[in-house]
Amino acid sequence: MNRDALARLRDDPIDWRYKCFPAAEGVTPATVGKCGWNLLRGDLLLPALVLKESALAHNIDLMARYCERHGVSLAPHGKTTMSPELFERQLAAGAWGLTAATASQVRVYRALGVERIVLANELVEPAAVRFVAAELEADPALDFYCLVDSQQAVEAMTRALEGRAARPIQALVELGLPGGRTGCRSLEAAREVAAAVARSPVLTLAGVEGFEGIVHSDDLAADLARVDAFLDDLKELVAELGPAGHFDGREEAVVTVGGSAYFDRVVERLARPADFPVRVVLRSGCYLTHDSGYYDHLSPLGERGPDGERLEPALEAWGTVLSRPEPDRAILGLGKRDASHDIDLPLPLHASGREGLRDVRGSLALFDLNDQHAYLRLPQDDPLAVGDLVGCGISHPCTAFDKWRLIPVVDDEYTVIGAVHTFF
Over the stretch 50-83, which tens digit does the pLDDT of each residue have? Answer: 999 999 999 999 999 999 999 999 999 999 999 9
Give per-residue pLDDT as tens, 297-349.
Answer: 999 999 999 878 999 999 999 999 999 999 999 999 999 999 999 999 999 99
Length of the chain: 424
Question: CB under 8 Å to 213, separation ≥6 — which residues?
Answer: 259, 260, 261, 262
- Of residues 192 and 355, the one with the higher pLDDT is 192
Residue 154 above 80 pLDDT?
A: yes
165 pLDDT band, cuts 50/70/90, is low
Mean pLDDT of 98-118: 98
At residue 249, does pLDDT exceed 70? yes
Q: Report the amino acid identity of residue 299.
A: S
DSSP 169-226: EEEEEEE--TTSSSSBSSHHHHHHHHHHHHH-SSEEEEEEEE--TT---S-HHHHHHH
Residue 274 is predicted with a pLDDT of: 85
Q: Is the pLDDT of residue 145 over 80?
A: yes
Nearest to 133 by CA among 169, 98, 105, 97: 169
pLDDT for 164 equals 78
Helix residue spans in 47-94 (DSSP H): 53-70, 84-92
Q: How far apart are CA 131 and CA 115, in angstroms?
A: 15
pLDDT at res. 405 = 98
Mean pLDDT over 135-140 rounds to: 95
Q: What is the average pLDDT value for the chain, to the nearest integer? A: 96
CB 82 within 8 A of CB 345: no
Residues 6 or more apart from 80 whose CB is under 8 A from it? 285, 286, 288, 289, 397, 398, 401
Q: Would you place residue 146 in the very low, low, confident or very high pLDDT band (cuts 50, 70, 90)?
A: very high
For the chain, what percent of residues have pLDDT higher than 70? 100
Percent of the chain with pLDDT over 90: 96
As a whole number, mean pLDDT of residues 201-224 equals: 95
How many whole angstroms separate alpha carbon 403 and alpha carbon 394? 13
Taking the C-alpha atoms of residue 320 and residue 315, their distance in angstroms, rounded to an integer, is: 17
Residues 6+ apart with CB under 8 A from 358: 350, 351, 352
pTM for this prediction: 0.96
Q: In sequence order, what are the beta bridge partners of 318?
A: 48, 391
Q: How confident is the model at residue 272 (pLDDT cuts 50, 70, 90)?
A: confident
Asked whether residue 355 carries a pLDDT value surpassing 80, the answer given is yes
Task: Indicate whether 162 pLDDT > 90.
Answer: no
Indicate the pLDDT class of residue 4, thresholds 50, 70 and 90.
Answer: very high
User: pLDDT digit string (tens) for 285-308?
Assistant: 999 999 999 999 999 999 999 878
Q: Are 304 and 269 in contact (CB under 8 A)?
A: no
